[in-house]
Amino acid sequence: MIASAQQVESAPAFRRRFRLAEGHGRLVSAQLSATALGIVELFLNGAPVSEDVLTPGWSSYEWRLRYAEWDVLPLVHADSVLGAVVGAGWHSGRLGFAGERAVYGDVRALWARLVLTFEDDFVQQVVTDESWQSGPSPSLLDDLYDGQTIDARARENAWMRPGDEPRGWGGVVTVDVDQTRLTPYIAPPVRRQEHLEPVRVWTSPAGATLVDFGQNLVGWTHLTVRGRRGAEIVLRHAEVLEHEEIGVRPLRTARATDRYVLSGGVDVFEPTLTFHGFRYVEVTGWPGSHDELAAALQAVIIGSDLRRIGTFECSDPLLNRLHENIVWSMRGNFVDVPTDCPQRDERLGWTGDLAAFVDTAVYLYDVGDFLRDWLADLAAEQEAAGGTIPLVVPDNFKYENRAGLTAAMNQLEYPVAALWHDAAIWVPWAAWRAYGDREALAAEYPSMAAYARRISQALDADGILRGVQLGDWLDPDAPPGQPWMAKADPYVVATACVHRSARMAAEAATVLGEHADAAEFGALSARLREAFNDVFVHEGRITSDATTAYALAIAFDLLGESDRRAAGERLAELVRDAGHHVTTGFAGTPFIVGALSDTGHLDDAYRLVQQTECPSWLFPVTMGATTIWERWDSMLPDGSINPGEMTSFNHYAFGAVGEWLHRVVAGVSALEPGYRRVLIAPRPGGGITWARTRLRTPQGDVRVRWQETDDRLEAELEIPEGATAVVRLPGLSERTVGAGTHRVTVPRQQSV
Looking at the DSSP bridge assignments, the partners of residue 538 are: 541
Contacts of 532 (CB under 8 A, 6+ apart): 463, 464, 492, 495, 496, 499, 553, 558
To the nearest 10 degrees (0 to 180), the angle between helices 490-511 and 438-458 is: 140
Q: How many residues does the chain have?
A: 752
Contact (Cβ atoms closer than 8 angstroms) between residue 632 and residue 621: no
Per the DSSP assignment, residues forming a β-bridge with 276 are 219
Give Cα separations from 472 to 49, 419, 603 (angstroms): 46, 9, 25
> What single letter denotes the amino acid at residue 3?
A
* Amino acid at site 481: G
630 labelled catalytic: yes
| CA distances for 742 relative to 705, 706, 720, 725, 737, angstroms | 11, 12, 11, 11, 8
Catalytic residue list contains 194: no
Pair 9, 140: CB distance under 8 Å: yes
Closest C-alpha among 454, 369, 359 to residue 416? 454
Question: Residue 680: which H helix or E strand, with range?
Answer: strand 677-680
CA distance 221 to 192: 11
**CB neighbour list of residue 614: distance below 8 Å, 6 or more residues apart:** 581, 632, 633, 636, 637
Given 346, 381, 520, 659, the catalytic residue: 346
From 270, 313, 520, 630, the catalytic residue: 630
Concatenating the DSSP letter of every residue in 181-210 gives: GEEE--SPPEEEEEEE--SEEEE-TTS-EE
Question: Which residues form the catalytic set?
Answer: 346, 630
